[in-house]
Chains A and B, each alone.
Chain A
Protein backbone atom coordinates (compact mmCIF):
# COMPACT_ATOMS: atom_id res chain seq x y z
CA UNK A 1 0.00 0.00 0.00
CA UNK A 2 1.02 3.65 -0.31
CA UNK A 3 2.87 5.29 2.54
CA UNK A 4 0.67 7.39 4.83
CA UNK A 5 1.18 11.14 4.50
CA UNK A 6 3.40 13.21 6.77
CA UNK A 7 0.19 14.57 8.28
CA UNK A 8 -0.92 11.07 9.24
CA UNK A 9 2.48 10.33 10.76
CA UNK A 10 2.18 13.55 12.76
CA UNK A 11 -1.21 12.54 14.09
CA UNK A 12 0.19 9.17 15.13
CA UNK A 13 2.47 11.09 17.49
CA UNK A 14 -0.25 12.48 19.71
CA UNK A 15 -3.66 11.28 18.54
CA UNK A 16 -3.09 7.73 17.26
CA UNK A 17 -6.71 6.76 17.80
CA UNK A 18 -7.57 9.16 14.96
CA UNK A 19 -5.44 7.22 12.47
CA UNK A 20 -6.86 4.32 10.48
CA UNK A 21 -5.82 0.81 11.58
CA UNK A 22 -4.40 0.04 8.14
CA UNK A 23 -2.10 3.05 8.34
CA UNK A 24 -0.96 2.15 11.83
CA UNK A 25 -0.16 -1.41 10.77
CA UNK A 26 1.72 -0.18 7.71
CA UNK A 27 3.85 2.21 9.70
CA UNK A 28 4.74 -0.47 12.27
CA UNK A 29 6.38 -2.53 9.55
CA UNK A 30 7.81 0.16 7.26
CA UNK A 31 11.33 1.45 7.96
CA UNK A 32 10.77 4.60 5.87
CA UNK A 33 7.58 5.48 7.74
CA UNK A 34 9.14 4.70 11.12
CA UNK A 35 11.92 7.06 10.26
CA UNK A 36 9.39 9.71 9.27
CA UNK A 37 7.47 9.10 12.49
CA UNK A 38 10.64 9.56 14.53
CA UNK A 39 11.34 12.86 12.77
CA UNK A 40 7.78 14.02 13.42
CA UNK A 41 8.15 13.09 17.11
CA UNK A 42 11.39 15.07 17.38
CA UNK A 43 9.91 18.17 15.74
CA UNK A 44 6.74 17.92 17.81
CA UNK A 45 8.72 17.66 21.03
CA UNK A 46 10.91 20.61 20.06
CA UNK A 47 7.89 22.72 19.16
CA UNK A 48 6.21 21.70 22.39
CA UNK A 49 9.25 22.80 24.37
CA UNK A 50 9.47 26.06 22.45
CA UNK A 51 5.80 26.90 23.02
CA UNK A 52 5.31 25.56 26.52
CA UNK A 53 7.01 28.42 28.24
CA UNK A 54 6.91 28.23 31.99
CA UNK A 55 4.55 31.17 32.00
CA UNK A 56 2.01 29.27 29.93
CA UNK A 57 2.35 26.13 32.02
CA UNK A 58 1.82 27.91 35.31
CA UNK A 59 -0.99 30.12 34.18
CA UNK A 60 -3.75 27.60 34.48
CA UNK A 61 -2.94 27.09 38.17
CA UNK A 62 -1.98 30.56 39.28
CA UNK A 63 -4.17 32.99 37.41
CA UNK A 64 -6.25 35.29 39.58
CA UNK A 65 -9.55 34.84 37.80
CA UNK A 66 -11.46 37.09 40.21
CA UNK A 67 -9.14 40.02 39.56
CA UNK A 68 -9.27 39.39 35.84
CA UNK A 69 -13.06 39.30 35.95
CA UNK A 70 -13.19 42.64 37.79
CA UNK A 71 -10.95 44.14 35.12
CA UNK A 72 -13.14 42.81 32.34
CA UNK A 73 -16.32 43.99 34.07
CA UNK A 74 -15.07 47.55 34.26
CA UNK A 75 -13.90 47.41 30.64
CA UNK A 76 -17.30 46.09 29.57
CA UNK A 77 -19.07 48.82 31.55
CA UNK A 78 -16.86 51.53 30.01
CA UNK A 79 -17.43 50.05 26.61
CA UNK A 80 -21.18 50.00 27.24
CA UNK A 81 -21.16 53.68 28.17
CA UNK A 82 -19.28 54.57 25.03
CA UNK A 83 -21.70 52.59 22.94
CA UNK A 84 -24.72 54.06 24.66
CA UNK A 85 -23.34 57.49 23.89
CA UNK A 86 -23.14 56.72 20.21
CA UNK A 87 -26.27 54.73 19.55
CA UNK A 88 -29.06 56.60 21.22
CA UNK A 89 -31.90 57.63 18.88
CA UNK A 90 -31.00 60.49 16.64
CA UNK A 91 -27.34 59.63 16.82
CA UNK A 92 -27.65 57.11 14.09
CA UNK A 93 -26.53 59.60 11.50
CA UNK A 94 -23.16 59.84 13.06
CA UNK A 95 -22.85 56.11 13.18
CA UNK A 96 -24.22 55.90 9.67
CA UNK A 97 -21.80 58.46 8.40
CA UNK A 98 -18.79 56.78 9.79
CA UNK A 99 -19.59 53.17 9.07
CA UNK A 100 -19.36 53.04 5.31
CA UNK A 101 -17.19 56.05 4.81
CA UNK A 102 -14.39 55.60 7.13
CA UNK A 103 -14.88 52.03 8.20
CA UNK A 104 -11.30 52.36 9.15
CA UNK A 105 -12.53 54.24 12.19
CA UNK A 106 -14.64 51.26 13.11
CA UNK A 107 -11.51 49.19 13.00
CA UNK A 108 -9.61 51.77 14.99
CA UNK A 109 -12.35 51.74 17.59
CA UNK A 110 -12.32 47.99 17.75
CA UNK A 111 -8.60 47.70 17.96
CA UNK A 112 -7.89 50.64 20.23
CA UNK A 113 -11.14 50.96 22.09
CA UNK A 114 -11.23 54.52 20.83
CA UNK A 115 -14.96 54.38 20.34
CA UNK A 116 -15.50 57.76 21.85
CA UNK A 117 -12.83 59.35 19.71
CA UNK A 118 -14.15 57.85 16.53
CA UNK A 119 -17.66 58.86 17.48
CA UNK A 120 -16.94 62.55 17.39
CA UNK A 121 -18.97 64.38 14.83
CA UNK A 122 -17.71 66.56 12.05
CA UNK A 123 -19.26 69.79 11.12
CA UNK A 124 -21.77 69.17 8.47
CA UNK A 125 -20.83 71.25 5.46
CA UNK A 126 -18.54 69.49 3.10
CA UNK A 127 -17.53 68.57 -0.29
CA UNK A 128 -14.58 66.58 0.98
CA UNK A 129 -11.47 66.89 -1.08
CA UNK A 130 -8.95 66.18 1.59
CA UNK A 131 -8.70 64.90 5.12
CA UNK A 132 -6.96 66.42 8.08
CA UNK A 133 -6.56 65.05 11.58
CA UNK A 134 -8.06 66.82 14.54
CA UNK A 135 -6.24 65.61 17.61
CA UNK A 136 -7.61 66.30 21.05
CA UNK A 137 -7.80 64.65 24.44
CA UNK A 138 -10.47 61.98 24.46
CA UNK A 139 -12.37 63.88 27.14
CA UNK A 140 -12.77 66.82 24.76
CA UNK A 141 -13.93 64.61 21.93
CA UNK A 142 -16.59 63.10 24.15
CA UNK A 143 -17.81 66.62 24.94
CA UNK A 144 -18.34 67.48 21.27
CA UNK A 145 -22.00 68.06 20.62
CA UNK A 146 -24.05 65.88 18.34
CA UNK A 147 -25.95 67.32 15.44
CA UNK A 148 -29.21 66.41 17.09
CA UNK A 149 -28.27 68.57 20.06
CA UNK A 150 -28.86 71.53 17.74
CA UNK A 151 -31.95 70.52 15.88
CA UNK A 152 -33.81 67.68 14.23
CA UNK A 153 -31.91 65.03 12.37
CA UNK A 154 -33.87 62.82 10.02
CA UNK A 155 -32.13 59.97 8.23
CA UNK A 156 -33.72 59.81 4.80
CA UNK A 157 -31.65 56.97 3.40
CA UNK A 158 -30.56 54.49 6.05
CA UNK A 159 -27.14 53.02 5.85
CA UNK A 160 -27.20 49.39 4.88
CA UNK A 161 -23.96 47.50 4.82
CA UNK A 162 -24.02 43.98 3.49
CA UNK A 163 -21.56 41.38 2.27
CA UNK A 164 -21.33 40.63 -1.43
CA UNK A 165 -19.85 37.65 -3.22
CA UNK A 166 -17.09 39.19 -5.27
CA UNK A 167 -15.14 42.24 -6.29
CA UNK A 168 -17.27 42.44 -9.43
CA UNK A 169 -20.46 42.47 -7.37
CA UNK A 170 -19.07 45.20 -5.11
CA UNK A 171 -18.11 47.32 -8.11
CA UNK A 172 -21.49 46.82 -9.73
CA UNK A 173 -23.43 47.70 -6.59
CA UNK A 174 -21.47 50.86 -5.79
CA UNK A 175 -20.24 52.13 -9.14
CA UNK A 176 -16.77 52.31 -7.61
CA UNK A 177 -13.69 50.54 -8.92
CA UNK A 178 -12.37 47.86 -6.61
CA UNK A 179 -8.66 48.48 -6.03
CA UNK A 180 -6.18 45.75 -6.79
CA UNK A 181 -3.85 45.20 -3.87
CA UNK A 182 -0.20 44.59 -4.69
CA UNK A 183 1.89 42.68 -2.21
CA UNK A 184 0.14 41.78 1.05
CA UNK A 185 2.01 42.55 4.26
CA UNK A 186 3.41 39.58 6.13
CA UNK A 187 0.74 37.88 8.15
CA UNK A 188 -2.12 39.08 5.97
CA UNK A 189 -3.18 36.03 4.04
CA UNK A 190 -6.03 34.56 2.06
CA UNK A 191 -8.61 36.30 -0.02
CA UNK A 192 -10.62 39.26 1.22
CA UNK A 193 -14.34 39.33 1.80
CA UNK A 194 -16.26 42.17 0.15
CA UNK A 195 -18.83 44.45 1.76
CA UNK A 196 -20.78 47.33 0.31
CA UNK A 197 -22.83 50.18 1.69
CA UNK A 198 -25.28 52.14 -0.40
CA UNK A 199 -25.53 55.88 -0.28
CA UNK A 200 -26.78 57.25 2.99
CA UNK A 201 -28.48 60.55 3.38
CA UNK A 202 -29.88 62.72 6.14
CA UNK A 203 -31.67 66.01 6.54
CA UNK A 204 -30.79 68.30 9.41
CA UNK A 205 -32.98 71.21 10.50
CA UNK A 206 -31.39 73.71 12.87
CA UNK A 207 -33.49 74.63 15.89
CA UNK A 208 -32.51 77.70 17.94
CA UNK A 209 -34.73 76.49 20.81
CA UNK A 210 -33.11 73.10 21.00
CA UNK A 211 -29.61 74.54 20.72
CA UNK A 212 -30.36 77.01 23.49
CA UNK A 213 -31.70 74.26 25.73
CA UNK A 214 -28.68 72.06 25.08
CA UNK A 215 -26.27 74.87 25.88
CA UNK A 216 -28.18 75.80 29.01
CA UNK A 217 -27.98 72.18 30.17
CA UNK A 218 -24.23 72.41 29.79
CA UNK A 219 -24.21 75.64 31.77
CA UNK A 220 -23.15 77.70 28.78
CA UNK A 221 -25.30 80.48 27.38
CA UNK A 222 -25.95 80.15 23.65
CA UNK A 223 -24.83 83.15 21.61
CA UNK A 224 -27.71 84.46 19.50
CA UNK A 225 -27.84 82.56 16.20
CA UNK A 226 -27.26 84.60 13.05
CA UNK A 227 -30.41 85.64 11.19
CA UNK A 228 -31.78 82.85 9.05
CA UNK A 229 -30.08 79.95 10.85
CA UNK A 230 -33.15 78.92 12.84
CA UNK A 231 -35.09 76.51 10.64
CA UNK A 232 -32.34 76.27 8.04
CA UNK A 233 -32.01 72.88 6.45
CA UNK A 234 -28.89 70.97 5.50
CA UNK A 235 -28.76 67.84 3.43
CA UNK A 236 -25.92 65.41 4.04
CA UNK A 237 -24.94 62.63 1.68
CA UNK A 238 -22.26 59.99 1.93
CA UNK A 239 -21.37 56.83 0.10
CA UNK A 240 -21.81 54.47 -1.54
CA UNK A 241 -18.73 52.62 -0.43
CA UNK A 242 -17.06 49.26 -0.49
CA UNK A 243 -14.68 47.43 1.83
CA UNK A 244 -12.28 44.57 1.32
CA UNK A 245 -11.67 42.76 4.59
CA UNK A 246 -8.91 40.26 5.32
CA UNK A 247 -10.18 38.61 8.48
CA UNK A 248 -10.12 34.82 8.05
CA UNK A 249 -12.50 34.36 10.93
CA UNK A 250 -10.53 36.26 13.53
CA UNK A 251 -12.34 38.89 15.58
CA UNK A 252 -10.14 41.78 14.46
CA UNK A 253 -9.41 41.93 10.74
CA UNK A 254 -5.75 41.79 9.77
CA UNK A 255 -6.34 44.43 7.13
CA UNK A 256 -9.16 46.41 5.50
CA UNK A 257 -9.20 48.52 2.36
CA UNK A 258 -12.13 50.89 2.02
CA UNK A 259 -13.23 53.16 -0.81
CA UNK A 260 -16.28 55.40 -0.53
CA UNK A 261 -17.73 58.45 -2.16
CA UNK A 262 -16.73 61.29 0.13
CA UNK A 263 -19.44 63.10 2.05
CA UNK A 264 -21.09 66.18 0.70
CA UNK A 265 -23.40 68.61 2.43
CA UNK A 266 -25.83 71.16 1.10
CA UNK A 267 -27.34 74.09 2.87
CA UNK A 268 -30.83 75.19 1.91
CA UNK A 269 -30.70 78.46 3.75
CA UNK A 270 -27.86 80.52 5.05
CA UNK A 271 -24.33 80.38 3.63
CA UNK A 272 -22.07 77.64 4.81
CA UNK A 273 -19.50 80.06 6.24
CA UNK A 274 -22.10 81.69 8.47
CA UNK A 275 -23.23 78.41 9.95
CA UNK A 276 -19.67 77.17 10.39
CA UNK A 277 -18.44 80.32 12.11
CA UNK A 278 -21.40 80.28 14.44
CA UNK A 279 -20.99 76.62 15.40
CA UNK A 280 -17.27 77.06 15.99
CA UNK A 281 -17.96 80.01 18.26
CA UNK A 282 -20.15 77.96 20.59
CA UNK A 283 -18.71 77.59 24.07
CA UNK A 284 -19.72 73.92 24.14
CA UNK A 285 -17.09 73.12 21.53
CA UNK A 286 -13.72 72.67 23.22
CA UNK A 287 -11.30 75.44 22.32
CA UNK A 288 -8.56 73.17 21.04
CA UNK A 289 -10.96 71.36 18.73
CA UNK A 290 -12.50 74.61 17.47
CA UNK A 291 -9.06 76.07 16.80
CA UNK A 292 -8.03 73.10 14.71
CA UNK A 293 -11.29 73.12 12.76
CA UNK A 294 -10.98 76.86 12.19
CA UNK A 295 -7.49 76.28 10.84
CA UNK A 296 -8.80 74.33 7.88
CA UNK A 297 -8.88 76.13 4.61
CA UNK A 298 -12.35 77.41 5.30
CA UNK A 299 -13.78 76.37 1.97
CA UNK A 300 -15.62 73.35 3.30
CA UNK A 301 -13.44 70.80 1.56
CA UNK A 302 -11.52 69.32 4.45
CA UNK A 303 -12.93 66.34 6.26
CA UNK A 304 -11.76 66.27 9.87
CA UNK A 305 -10.69 62.92 11.18
CA UNK A 306 -11.11 63.08 14.94
CA UNK A 307 -8.50 61.30 16.95
CA UNK A 308 -7.94 60.73 20.61
CA UNK A 309 -4.58 62.21 21.51
CA UNK A 310 -4.10 59.55 24.18
CA UNK A 311 -4.58 56.65 21.85
CA UNK A 312 -3.65 57.71 18.36
CA UNK A 313 -0.93 59.71 16.74
CA UNK A 314 -1.03 61.03 13.22
CA UNK A 315 1.43 62.08 10.56
CA UNK A 316 1.20 63.57 7.10
CA UNK A 317 2.18 61.48 4.10
CA UNK A 318 1.71 61.33 0.38
CA UNK A 319 -0.11 58.62 -1.56
CA UNK A 320 0.11 58.93 -5.32
CA UNK A 321 0.46 62.70 -5.13
CA UNK A 322 -2.46 63.16 -2.73
CA UNK A 323 -1.96 64.39 0.82
CA UNK A 324 -2.75 61.57 3.21
CA UNK A 325 -3.09 61.18 6.95
CA UNK A 326 -1.35 58.25 8.59
CA UNK A 327 -2.54 57.35 12.04
CA UNK A 328 -1.32 54.68 14.40
CA UNK A 329 -2.20 53.61 17.89
CA UNK A 330 0.30 54.55 20.53
CA UNK A 331 0.41 50.98 21.75
CA UNK A 332 1.58 49.87 18.32
CA UNK A 333 -1.30 47.53 17.65
CA UNK A 334 -2.76 49.15 14.56
CA UNK A 335 -2.24 51.77 11.88
CA UNK A 336 -4.14 53.25 8.99
CA UNK A 337 -3.83 55.74 6.18
CA UNK A 338 -6.65 57.72 4.61
CA UNK A 339 -6.80 60.15 1.71
CA UNK A 340 -9.23 61.67 -0.78
CA UNK A 341 -8.80 61.47 -4.53
CA UNK A 342 -11.38 62.83 -6.92
CA UNK A 343 -14.17 62.87 -4.36
CA UNK A 344 -13.48 59.31 -3.22
CA UNK A 345 -12.13 58.50 0.23
CA UNK A 346 -9.74 55.58 0.37
CA UNK A 347 -8.43 54.05 3.56
CA UNK A 348 -6.10 51.17 4.38
CA UNK A 349 -5.89 50.00 7.97
CA UNK A 350 -5.20 46.97 10.07
CA UNK A 351 -3.05 45.29 12.65
CA UNK A 352 -0.07 46.66 10.82
CA UNK A 353 2.67 49.22 11.14
CA UNK A 354 2.44 52.68 9.59
CA UNK A 355 5.06 51.65 7.03
CA UNK A 356 3.06 48.60 6.08
CA UNK A 357 -0.23 50.45 5.53
CA UNK A 358 1.59 53.11 3.49
CA UNK A 359 3.23 50.44 1.40
CA UNK A 360 -0.15 48.81 0.69
CA UNK A 361 -1.74 52.21 0.00
CA UNK A 362 0.95 53.16 -2.50
CA UNK A 363 0.68 49.77 -4.18
CA UNK A 364 -3.09 49.98 -4.78
CA UNK A 365 -4.12 50.03 -8.41
CA UNK A 366 -7.49 51.52 -9.25
CA UNK A 367 -8.99 51.35 -12.73
CA UNK A 368 -10.94 54.41 -13.62
Chain B
Protein backbone atom coordinates (compact mmCIF):
# COMPACT_ATOMS: atom_id res chain seq x y z
CA UNK B 1 0.00 0.00 0.00
CA UNK B 2 1.41 3.35 -0.94
CA UNK B 3 0.26 6.65 0.48
CA UNK B 4 -1.23 9.12 -1.94
CA UNK B 5 1.35 11.79 -1.23
CA UNK B 6 3.90 9.71 -3.10
CA UNK B 7 4.65 10.33 -6.76
CA UNK B 8 2.69 8.11 -9.12
CA UNK B 9 5.65 6.80 -11.09
CA UNK B 10 7.60 5.59 -8.06
CA UNK B 11 7.15 1.87 -8.65
CA UNK B 12 7.91 2.12 -12.34
CA UNK B 13 11.09 4.11 -11.73
CA UNK B 14 12.03 1.87 -8.81
CA UNK B 15 11.77 -1.35 -10.80
CA UNK B 16 13.71 0.12 -13.69
CA UNK B 17 16.56 1.60 -11.70
CA UNK B 18 16.85 -0.06 -8.28
CA UNK B 19 19.72 -2.49 -9.08
CA UNK B 20 21.71 0.29 -10.68
CA UNK B 21 21.18 2.60 -7.70
CA UNK B 22 22.28 -0.17 -5.33
CA UNK B 23 25.37 -0.73 -7.48
CA UNK B 24 26.34 2.95 -7.26
CA UNK B 25 26.13 2.85 -3.46
CA UNK B 26 27.95 -0.50 -3.35
CA UNK B 27 30.89 0.97 -5.22
CA UNK B 28 31.25 3.45 -2.39
CA UNK B 29 30.43 1.22 0.55
CA UNK B 30 31.82 -2.07 -0.69
CA UNK B 31 28.89 -3.82 0.90
CA UNK B 32 25.64 -4.95 -0.59
CA UNK B 33 23.67 -4.68 2.62
CA UNK B 34 24.71 -1.10 3.27
CA UNK B 35 24.10 -0.26 -0.38
CA UNK B 36 20.53 -1.58 -0.25
CA UNK B 37 19.90 0.57 2.84
CA UNK B 38 21.20 3.61 0.99
CA UNK B 39 19.03 2.82 -2.02
CA UNK B 40 15.92 2.56 0.18
CA UNK B 41 16.71 5.93 1.74
CA UNK B 42 17.27 7.51 -1.66
CA UNK B 43 14.04 6.14 -3.15
CA UNK B 44 12.08 7.26 -0.09
CA UNK B 45 13.30 10.80 -0.68
CA UNK B 46 12.70 10.48 -4.41
CA UNK B 47 9.13 9.30 -3.79
CA UNK B 48 8.35 12.59 -2.08
CA UNK B 49 10.17 14.71 -4.62
CA UNK B 50 9.07 16.33 -7.83
CA UNK B 51 12.20 15.47 -9.78
CA UNK B 52 11.17 15.30 -13.46
CA UNK B 53 10.82 11.73 -14.69
CA UNK B 54 13.38 12.30 -17.41
CA UNK B 55 16.00 13.22 -14.83
CA UNK B 56 15.10 10.52 -12.34
CA UNK B 57 17.82 8.05 -13.23
CA UNK B 58 20.59 10.62 -13.00
CA UNK B 59 19.16 12.19 -9.83
CA UNK B 60 18.99 8.79 -8.15
CA UNK B 61 22.58 7.94 -9.07
CA UNK B 62 23.84 11.25 -7.71
CA UNK B 63 21.75 10.92 -4.55
CA UNK B 64 23.02 7.38 -4.03
CA UNK B 65 26.64 8.50 -4.39
CA UNK B 66 26.20 11.42 -1.98
CA UNK B 67 24.22 9.44 0.54
CA UNK B 68 26.68 6.55 0.47
CA UNK B 69 29.58 8.97 0.92
CA UNK B 70 27.70 10.52 3.85
CA UNK B 71 27.35 7.06 5.34
CA UNK B 72 31.04 6.47 4.83
CA UNK B 73 31.81 9.58 6.81
CA UNK B 74 29.36 8.95 9.58
CA UNK B 75 29.05 5.19 9.54
CA UNK B 76 32.59 4.24 10.31
CA UNK B 77 31.58 2.29 13.36
CA UNK B 78 28.91 0.47 11.43
CA UNK B 79 31.35 -0.28 8.64
CA UNK B 80 33.73 -1.86 11.08
CA UNK B 81 30.86 -3.90 12.53
CA UNK B 82 29.97 -5.16 9.06
CA UNK B 83 33.53 -6.16 8.43
CA UNK B 84 33.73 -7.87 11.78
CA UNK B 85 30.64 -9.84 10.80
CA UNK B 86 32.29 -11.03 7.61
CA UNK B 87 30.02 -8.85 5.49
CA UNK B 88 27.17 -11.30 5.27
CA UNK B 89 28.18 -13.00 2.09
CA UNK B 90 28.36 -9.82 0.05
CA UNK B 91 31.58 -11.04 -1.49
CA UNK B 92 30.35 -14.50 -2.30
CA UNK B 93 31.91 -17.91 -1.93
CA UNK B 94 34.76 -17.25 -4.29
CA UNK B 95 36.19 -14.67 -1.97
CA UNK B 96 39.69 -15.62 -2.92
CA UNK B 97 39.00 -14.48 -6.44
CA UNK B 98 37.48 -11.20 -5.40
CA UNK B 99 39.23 -8.37 -7.12
CA UNK B 100 39.40 -6.37 -3.94
CA UNK B 101 39.91 -7.95 -0.57
CA UNK B 102 38.24 -6.76 2.59
CA UNK B 103 41.33 -4.91 3.68
CA UNK B 104 41.70 -3.27 0.31
CA UNK B 105 38.04 -2.32 0.37
CA UNK B 106 38.50 -0.71 3.74
CA UNK B 107 41.38 1.30 2.35
CA UNK B 108 39.34 2.25 -0.73
CA UNK B 109 36.53 3.50 1.50
CA UNK B 110 38.93 5.46 3.67
CA UNK B 111 40.48 6.98 0.55
CA UNK B 112 37.07 7.90 -0.90
CA UNK B 113 36.13 9.57 2.37
CA UNK B 114 39.25 11.71 2.18
CA UNK B 115 38.68 12.87 -1.41
CA UNK B 116 37.02 16.24 -1.99
CA UNK B 117 33.31 15.51 -2.31
CA UNK B 118 33.01 16.61 -5.92
CA UNK B 119 35.92 14.43 -7.00
CA UNK B 120 34.55 11.44 -5.11
CA UNK B 121 31.10 11.78 -6.66
CA UNK B 122 32.49 12.30 -10.17
CA UNK B 123 34.69 9.23 -9.75
CA UNK B 124 31.88 7.00 -8.51
CA UNK B 125 29.39 8.15 -11.12
CA UNK B 126 31.83 7.74 -13.99
CA UNK B 127 32.73 4.25 -12.83
CA UNK B 128 29.03 3.50 -12.47
CA UNK B 129 28.61 4.10 -16.17
CA UNK B 130 27.32 7.65 -16.36
CA UNK B 131 28.59 9.49 -19.43
CA UNK B 132 30.75 12.59 -19.17
CA UNK B 133 27.71 14.67 -20.13
CA UNK B 134 25.62 13.07 -17.39
CA UNK B 135 28.32 13.55 -14.77
CA UNK B 136 28.70 17.14 -15.92
CA UNK B 137 24.99 17.81 -15.57
CA UNK B 138 24.88 16.11 -12.19
CA UNK B 139 27.71 18.12 -10.70
CA UNK B 140 27.11 21.36 -12.56
CA UNK B 141 30.46 21.07 -14.30
CA UNK B 142 31.36 21.65 -17.95
CA UNK B 143 31.84 18.33 -19.79
CA UNK B 144 35.45 19.36 -20.35
CA UNK B 145 36.19 19.63 -16.67
CA UNK B 146 34.65 16.24 -15.84
CA UNK B 147 37.74 14.57 -17.29
CA UNK B 148 39.97 16.81 -15.19
CA UNK B 149 37.97 16.10 -12.03
CA UNK B 150 37.90 12.33 -12.60
CA UNK B 151 41.60 12.33 -13.49
CA UNK B 152 42.48 14.15 -10.26
CA UNK B 153 40.29 11.80 -8.26
CA UNK B 154 41.93 8.72 -9.76
CA UNK B 155 45.37 10.13 -9.20
CA UNK B 156 44.51 11.01 -5.59
CA UNK B 157 42.97 7.57 -5.06
CA UNK B 158 46.14 5.89 -6.28
CA UNK B 159 48.27 8.04 -3.97
CA UNK B 160 45.99 7.39 -1.01
CA UNK B 161 45.99 3.65 -1.63
CA UNK B 162 49.76 3.56 -2.06
CA UNK B 163 50.34 5.64 1.04
CA UNK B 164 48.19 3.36 3.15
CA UNK B 165 49.18 0.12 1.49
CA UNK B 166 50.32 -2.64 3.82
CA UNK B 167 54.11 -2.72 3.90
CA UNK B 168 54.57 -6.23 2.60
Point out residues on A near B: beta carbons under 8 Å.
5-11, 14-15, 18, 40, 43-44, 46-61, 63, 65, 68-69, 71-73, 75-77, 79-81, 83-84, 110, 186-187, 189-190, 248-252, 254, 331-335, 351-353
Contact = CB atoms under 8 A, between A and B. Distances in A.
Size category of the binding interface on chain B: 35 or more
B150 A10 contact: yes
A186 B73 contact: yes
Given A6-B148, A6-B151, A65-B19, A187 B35 contact: no
Contacts of B152: 6
Given A44-B154, A55-B91, A186-B114, A250 B78 contact: no
B19 A50 contact: no
A65 B16 CA distance: 9
Given A10-B148, A251-B67, A15 B108 contact: no
Given A40-B151, A51-B124, A186 B70 contact: no
B131 A80 contact: no
Interface string B14-35: 1100111011001100111001
A353 B117 CA distance: 17
16 contacts: A7-B144, A43-B157, A50-B108, A52-B99, A52-B127, A53-B91, A56-B27, A63-B18, A65-B19, A71-B40, A79-B48, A187-B70, A251-B45, A252-B45, A332-B76, A352-B73
Contacts of A9: 147, 151
B92 interface: yes
Contacts of A73: 1-2
Contacts of A189: 116-118
A172 B149 CA distance: 38
Nearest to B39: A68
Contact of B74 (A77, A110, A333): A333
Contacts of A252: 45, 66-67, 70
